[in-house]
């Protein structure tokens, strides 16, 4: 009997969440080449830029140049991170197809990453949300530290659900749940997801799992069982977070695509292109 594959989507974040953490100087041409190769793999969405303070994340300082230099695929949305109105305006001027606001479920990480409490960050994001709505630019949301925080320790599931609800109320079409530290266990993930499902349909959620503890693929399985069908990943397992000490890279796109396929989920991505992009990403990292 032939099993009909269900659909799942991988949202590629390597050029942003991956490269932002790399201490090596990576040239603009290399960044553009990586995005252009990824564009031919069949992604609907690739996060390629981050309009944050260049003092905070120097590697993302050329984000406008990246968006100007890539060859855009008509079927792909090129996304950018925007922490405030200043970042949003820069992203819009650089013709980002969609933008993302990024909150935290823990106060310690919010202060380390955004220099603001959770409430203050949400106030800034409300300005971004309003502007994006006026301009007709789709808005995505992230919640970081959904199970553990490098500063505050374990994070309550209710705190995650609360921030997810606020981001959905601001108009985020999808909220990505970040295991920023990559230490989440399947058990914690299950408790967190069940709390979040009280405030959001699974169709408006994504999983964003870093792989520090080697459990990211198991956490994907937990999220699949809860009805989540979108997962962020970074080609070559690039990444970490400059403001989350000890965090390793995102789950690797080329591993996730094979894992999903083995579990009956088709992503439509070209694995040969992904393997080539993973090699390119690893060379950029110098590993």
Interface pattern 159-178 for ligand HMG (x via CB under 6 A): -------------------x
Find the binder of Mg ion among 10, 14, 17, 35 (CB under 5 A): 17
Q: Which is nearer to ligand HMG, 76 or 141 (CB)?
A: 141
**Residue 98 near ligand HMG by CB under 6 A:** no
> What DSSP character marks residue 186?
H
Give least dist CB 10 to ligand HMG, A.
15
Which residue lies nearest ligand HMG, judged by its C-beta? 178
Give the phi and the psi of residue 113 in degrees, each rounded to 5. -95, -30
241 assigned to active site: yes
**Residue 212 near ligand HMG by CB under 6 A:** no
The Cα-based distances of 156 to 69, 116, 130, 192 in angstroms read: 42, 20, 29, 8
Longest pairwise C-alpha distance within the chain: 57
| Interacting residues of 184 by C-beta distance below 8 A, sequence separation 6+ | 146, 147, 148, 192, 209, 213, 215, 219
- Residues 46 and 259: their CA atoms lie apart, in Å, by 20
**Residue 106 near ligand HMG by CB under 6 A:** no
Given the structure tokens 């977070």, which residue do they identify? 241
**Residue 243 near ligand HMG by CB under 6 A:** yes
Q: Which is nearer to ligand HMG, 8 or 181 (CB)?
A: 181
**Stretch of 25-33, 193-201, 213-221, 241-249 contacting ligand HMG, by CB under 6 A:** 241-249
**Residue 211 near Mg ion by CB under 5 A:** no
Q: Which is nearer to ligand HMG, 70 or 216 (CB)?
A: 216
Give least dist CB 247 to ligand HMG, A.
8
Q: Which residues, listed in sequence order, are joined to residue 176 by a DSSP beta bridge?
A: 142, 206
**Residue 76 near ligand HMG by CB under 6 A:** no
The Cα-based distances of 178 to 30, 40, 41, 161, 261 in angstroms read: 27, 26, 24, 13, 23
- Residues 215 and 184: their CA atoms lie apart, in Å, by 7
- Residues 258 and 165: their CA atoms lie apart, in Å, by 32
**Residue 113 near ligand HMG by CB under 6 A:** yes
Give least dist CB 71 to ligand HMG, A.
25
State both tokens at 71.
Answer: 């060859």
Site residues for ligand HMG per CB under 6 A: 17, 20, 50-53, 56-57, 83-84, 86-87, 102, 113-115, 142, 144, 178, 180, 208, 241-243
């Amino acid at each position: 009997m032939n099993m009909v594959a269900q659909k799942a989507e991988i949202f590629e974040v390597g050029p942003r969440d991956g490269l932002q953490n790399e201490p090596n100087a990576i040239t603009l041409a290399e960044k553009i080449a990586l995005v252009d190769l990824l564009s031919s793999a069949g992604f609907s969405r690739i996060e390629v830029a981050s309009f944050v303070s260049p003092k905070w994340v120097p590697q993302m300082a050329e984000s406008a140049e990246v968006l100007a230099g890539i060859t855009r695929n008509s079927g792909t949305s090129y996304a950018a991170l925007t922490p405030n109105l200043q970042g949003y305006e820069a992203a819009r001027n650089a013709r980002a197809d969609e933008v993302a606001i990024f909150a935290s479920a823990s106060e310690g990480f919010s202060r380390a990453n955004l220099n603001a409490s959770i409430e203050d960050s949400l106030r800034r994001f409300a300005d971004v949300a309003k502007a994006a709505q006026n301009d007709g630019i789709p808005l995505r949301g992230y919640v970081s530290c959904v199970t553990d925080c490098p500063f505050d320790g374990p994070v309550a599931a209710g705190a995650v659900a609360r921030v997810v609800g606020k981001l959905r109320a601001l108009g985020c079409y999808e909220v990505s749940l970040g295991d920023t530290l990559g230490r989440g266990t399947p058990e914690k993930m299950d408790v967190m997801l069940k709390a979040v499902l009280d405030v959001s349909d699974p169709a408006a959620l994504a999983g964003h799992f870093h792989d520090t503890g080697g459990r990211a693929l198991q956490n994907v399985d937990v999220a699949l069982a809860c009805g989540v069908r979108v997962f962020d990943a970074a080609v070559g397992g690039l990444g970490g977070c400059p403001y989350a000490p000890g965090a390793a890279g995102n789950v690797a796109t080329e591993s996730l695509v094979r894992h999903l396929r083995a579990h009956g989920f088709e992503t439509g991505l070209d694995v040969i292109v992904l393997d080539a992009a993973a090699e390119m990403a690893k060379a950029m990292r110098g590993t």
